[in-house]
Amino acid sequence: MSDRKIVIFDTTLRDGEQSPGASMNIPEKLEVAQMLSSLGVDVIEAGFPVVSPGDFESVHKIAQVVKGSSVCALARCKDRDIEAAWDAIKDAENPRIHVFLATSPIHREYKLRMTKEQVLENTDHFVRKAAALTSNIEFSAEDASRTEIDFLCQVIEVAINAGATTVNIPDTVGYAIPAQFAEYIRTLKTTVPNIEKAIISVHCHNDLGLAMANSLAAVEAGAGQVECTINGLGERAGNCSLEEITMALNTRRDAFHASTGIVTRRLVPASQLVSGITGLEVPRNKAIVGRNAFAHESGIHQDGMLKNCMTYEIMRPEDVGFQKTDLVLGKHSGRAALNDKVNQLGYTLTPEQLNKLFEEFKVLTDRKKEIYDADIQSLVQRVLVKETTKYSWKLESYSSASGTGKKPVTSIKLSHGDFFVETESETTTGDGPIDGIFLAICKLTGLALTCKEYRVHSVTVGHDAQGKVDVTISFNDREYRGQGLSTDSIEASILAFLDAVNRIVM
Ligand code: KIV
Ligand code: ZN
């Protein structure tokens, strides 16, 4: 039996970005979209343009810049949603409008206040409206897994008649269980008369930890598209994880007879990029991309591995993008070696970007003897995001003194604006050096900030490892994230707070 090609629809930038703490700015979204395209994702759901001017702008930019993947925008069954979605994506190589309407009794009665007939009429009307703009139309029956199956079949038939080329069956609240969900897909396949004109898609949430099992069950039952996200990000407990579904289909071709176009050795870099940008760490034991996913600790396992890797490994770490050895470069490494490493990690830089990276790399090699993959990855991300982010507050210098029984004293000098016009400094005594930094930054910037979260961790190993600081601050009831990277953890903290401040004033 020949393999079926499963369409991979990534919604990291839409459903993923809706998850608390995962919001991204426009340069970051663009960076993720480029990575998704180089990963081989078929459809990138770039966002929900009607929601805000910022959402519109990011989808519009992605549509203009990203090549090789279809770019999709979400729209409710409303005129202005469909118009905004189309305006945002019309420049894309292969634009897709994704129209959705809830179909379950609870959504019909309490959320939409619509009868079944009204749901059918709206589906027909708005799918037709979208289909008049482009031929690539997806329709989602929100909360499909809690919808009466005969009504769901009716809605799907109407959507296909109106021009939907993909029909999505979301398990919106993560309620489905694999056997029942597969039965839904089989029923749609056998009952809806025009079903052959569309691809059946599934979109599973992970509230019961079943997103992956339900997606696989649906593929076995005939679904041709899976919606998923990098690291399983998404509303509440998240969505089906892209890396897991890809590797399950790849590793168990014997069972699923299906394949994807995903370049699997880019999975780990993609996961690290998204985690680096959002500050949402990947659990060490996360399947496929967690740091422990290929680590063998027990003596029996290590013995087996030495004799034959296949005793305890069903996939090779290098196939998903882990490097065999990740000790890479040092003080004497040149630009070409750096570029080679960058390419191996899945990034392609322009000569100007490589120059900037090389400068930062040289600064780092003065501070740190051995440079690891994770160091390079952090630097690349910083260069790429910095390039398109306008920084108004910059750190010029700082000093911080603390000791047992002493009040810490922090002095920070910042510059403001493109030119070094306003340079100020402030000395503050706080509860500790981090408190001192934070208070000084509030005074210097004149912003009344609240620190919501502060986390520090090392990027690699060793006493000279780079410290990465993630902060969340709030200003005027909105939260902003920031990241700082340095071998000096106080400096990394200042950079993280300034990164967050710059997002407020951007
Ligand atoms: O979970 C859901 O139902 C969704 C739809 C908009 C596809 O995200
Ligand atoms: Zn969803």
Consecutive 10-residue runs of the chain (506 residues): their mean pLDDT? 92 93 89 95 98 97 97 98 98 98 98 98 98 98 98 98 98 98 98 98 98 98 98 97 98 97 95 89 94 78 76 89 69 84 80 91 84 82 67 84 80 75 61 85 87 85 79 87 87 91 78
Q: Looking at residue 22, what is its pLDDT?
A: 86
- Return the C-alpha torsion angle 10, 15, 21, 26, nearest 10: 70
* Cα–Cα distance for residue pair 347/327, rounded to 1 Å: 18
Q: How far is CA 188 from CA 150, 192, 387, in A?
A: 9, 5, 48
Q: Which of 18, 81, 172, 173 to mutate to test the pocket of ligand 1 (most atoms within 8 A of CB)?
A: 172
DSSP structural state of residue 205: B
Give the Å distance between the CA of 481 and the centre of ligand 2.
23
Q: How far is CA 344 from CA 338, 349, 379, in A?
A: 10, 12, 15
- Ligand 1 closest atom vs CA 100: 6
- CA angle, 404 then 405 then 409, to 5°: 85
* Cα–Cα distance for residue pair 448/465, rounded to 1 Å: 33
Q: Looking at residue 111, what is its pLDDT?
A: 97
Q: Which residues line ligand 1 (CB under 6 A)?
A: 15, 100, 140, 142, 168, 170, 172, 203, 205
E strand map for 31-77 = 43-47, 70-76
Give the Å distance between the CA of 170 and the centre of ligand 1.
6
- Ligand 1 closest atom vs CA 168: 7
Q: Looking at residue 390, what is its pLDDT?
A: 60
Give the Å distance between the CA of 482 and the centre of ligand 2.
26
Give the Å distance between the CA of 463 and the centre of ligand 1.
45
Q: Looking at residue 387, what is its pLDDT?
A: 61
What pTM did the predictor assign?
Answer: 0.85
Give the Å distance between the CA of 189 and the centre of ligand 2.
22
- Ligand 1 closest atom vs CA 11: 8
| Nearest ligand to the CA atom of 169 | 1
Give the Å distance between the CA of 206 and the centre of ligand 2.
10
The pair of structure tokens assigned to 160 is 């296909």
| Nearest ligand to the CA atom of 139 | 1
Q: How far is CA 456 from the centre of its chain?
A: 21
| Nearest ligand to the CA atom of 102 | 1
What is the 3-state composition of the chain as percent helix, strand, coil, each rounded to the nearest 5?
45, 25, 30
* Cα–Cα distance for residue pair 3/256, rounded to 1 Å: 8
* Cα–Cα distance for residue pair 495/470, rounded to 1 Å: 10
Contact 69, 54 (CB under 8 A): no
Residue whose Cα lies nearest atom 2 of ligand 1: it is 172
Give the Å distance between the CA of 101 and the centre of ligand 1.
9
Q: Looking at residue 80, what is its pLDDT?
A: 98
* Cα–Cα distance for residue pair 72/59, rounded to 1 Å: 8
Comparing CA positions, the residue from 10, 25, 16, 12 lying closest to residue 68 is 10
- Ligand 1 closest atom vs CA 143: 3
* Cα–Cα distance for residue pair 399/408, rounded to 1 Å: 10
| Nearest ligand to the CA atom of 19 | 2
Count of other CB atoms within 10 angstroms of residue 256: 17
Q: Looking at residue 20, what is its pLDDT?
A: 79
Residues contacting 130, CB < 8 A, separation 6+: 75, 82, 85, 86, 97, 99, 137, 163
